[in-house]
Copies of this chain bind each other. A is one copy, B any other.
Amino acid sequence: MPTRTFFNLPEDKRRLITDLAIEEFAAHTYHKASLSRIVARAGIAKGSMYQYFAGKFDLYLYILELGARIKLEAIDKAVSELGPEATLYDRLMAATEASLKLAETHPRLYAIGMNLLRETDKKLVSRVMERLGPKGDNVFLDWLQWAVKKGDVDPEVSPLAATYMFSAVTTRLGQDLADGRLTLAQALPLLRQTLDILHRGLRPRAEAASGGAGRADETGESDKTDRE
């Protein structure tokens, strides 16, 4: 974590350093990101940086924590706004949508997260995970098992495979968004259609015959189904 000195800094300077660091880590992976470049752009001495942070990794962690906090807050907020009878797909859609929207509201922080995902230095990644804690990942599995009990999901289907699919798709959506291969306006319908396929793929066979799949496929949106 940053030193006391850093927090004693005038707001402006602290912001400047933080912003430039975010830009740097968004534009480059950890090892290619350069402290020298940050201090040069900030117009401060290299040594000053070492009065504020223990080193490159410390600065990196500080920035990552900023991003992680924002992301968790956004997801928590979106999910908690759902009614208690929201279905599995409502929840998945709400949580993922909130997460993907960050690519527009906080593009650089979002890119930093995606860069971490691409990181090849395993030691670095584990050092990060050590201090950043849990990945809200098994949440899906919990929700899924709960949906199986409710009879919304075919117990025959491998929950692991379902989780894997969901995770693969949402991660990929995030990367494509961060890299500009998709816009949010493209990603959200894609997410909805994807969840729709997953929904059809998971529901019990018996239920499929009846028209409706019962609860919920609409994911919190009241608008039309979007076919494309």
Contact A168 B161 (CB under 8 A): no
| A69 at the binding interface (Cβ < 8 Å) | no
Q: B201 near A211 (CB under 8 angstroms)?
A: no
Return the chain B residue nearest A202 by Cβ: B197
Number of interface residues of A (CB under 8 A): 40
Residue interface bits A160-203, CB-to-B below 8 A is 1, else 0: 11101101110111000001010000000010011011111110
Stretch in A25-33, A47-55, A129-137 touching the partner: A25-33
Distance to closest chain B CB from A88 (angstroms): 14
Structural contact, A161 and B120, CB atoms closer than 8 A: no
Answer yes or no: A157 CB below 8 A from chain B CBs.
yes
How many chain copies?
2
Known contacts A165-B169, A194-B165; decide if A205 and B205 are in contact (CB<8 Å): no
Which A204-224 residues have C-beta < 8 A from chain B?
A: 205, 208-209, 211
- 18 A–B pairs (Cβ distance < 8 Å), ordered by A: A157-B200, A158-B193, A158-B196, A158-B228, A160-B228, A161-B193, A161-B196, A165-B165, A168-B171, A196-B201, A197-B201, A197-B202, A200-B201, A201-B201, A201-B202, A205-B209, A208-B209, A209-B209
Binding site for B on A (CB under 8 A): 28-29, 31-32, 115, 118, 120, 122, 156-158, 160-162, 164-165, 167-169, 171-173, 179, 181, 190, 193-194, 196-202, 205, 208-209, 211, 227-228
